[in-house]
Amino acid sequence: MELTDLYELRDDVYRRPLFTALQRVGLGPGWRVADVGAGNGDVSVALASQVGRDGRVYAVDIDPRRRDEMAARASLLSQVIAITQAAEELALPEKVDLVFARFLLLGVSKPKDALKQMVAAVKPRGWIVLQEPVTTAGRVDGQPIGADTEAILWPDIGADLPHLLGDLDVDLKDMWAEAPVGYRRGPEIEYLSHMTDSGKGEITTVVLPPLVTVVAQHL
């Protein structure tokens, strides 16, 4: 798989760590995948392009409006199934080869419960890929990025991912962190402006919150 294969995510500032993780687990045709906290479905559609017609992607989100948005986005992809469900109550129609979640646990009241459900949804020797930020490590012209404390319960949960997964029935295979950097103009600064109030004024350099990726295999 090449990075250009993830065409649907060409404007996603965090696409590189996602690509690295998918390479690491060997995602390919026929896989069953769950995208938990799927949002508008961008990643679900990209995953569908990799698993092909013989694969399946369960796009899971707690917000029914998001489900409708996902369903419309994936209307031409029969392998994408939109499900309205909380991560803490995850119950899929079948065991999957991969559970993926990004920017999910920072807004979940009981992240450990969500992780237990995600691990339970994976086949033996299947994969769990989690990507969460260390929000307070982001910088705008040298100053910390302010987090929306109402929407973000655990702004730095990325730093806790290894610990949260460590005592579950998994083998931690790989862990790393990446932070996109933008200067003057570019998708990183546009992303910041969209997500927070920090990018509303004139800024020169932005270091987005590092995204911690943990790749684990179900035992």
- Give pLDDT, residue 150: 72
- Mean pLDDT (whole number) for 171-198: 85
**pLDDT grade, residue 3 (50/70/90)?**
very low
**pLDDT grade, residue 192 (50/70/90)?**
confident
Return the CATH number at 191.
3.40.50.150
Question: CB neighbours of 115 closer than 8 A, spacing ≥ 6?
Answer: 105, 130, 164, 165, 168
- Give pLDDT, residue 126: 99
Q: Calculate the dihedral angle through the C-alpha atoms of 27, 32, 38, 40, rounding to the nearest 10 degrees.
A: 90
Q: Calculate the dihedral angle through the C-alpha atoms of 54, 58, 59, 61, rounding to the nearest 10 degrees.
A: 180
- Mean pLDDT (whole number) for 191-213: 78
Is the distance from CB of 131 to CB of 106 less than 8 angstroms?
A: no
Domains contained in the chain, number: 1
**Can you give the residue range of the structural domain that contains 103?**
3-218
Side-chain half-sphere CA neighbours of 180 within 13 A = 18
Is the distance from CB of 103 to CB of 18 less than 8 angstroms?
A: no
Query: Is the model's pLDDT at 168 over the cut of 50?
Result: yes
**Greater pLDDT, 49 or 118:** 118
Is the distance from CB of 161 to CB of 108 less than 8 angstroms?
A: no
Q: Which residue has tokens 């798989």? A: 1
pTM: 0.91
- Mean pLDDT (whole number) for 34-63: 94
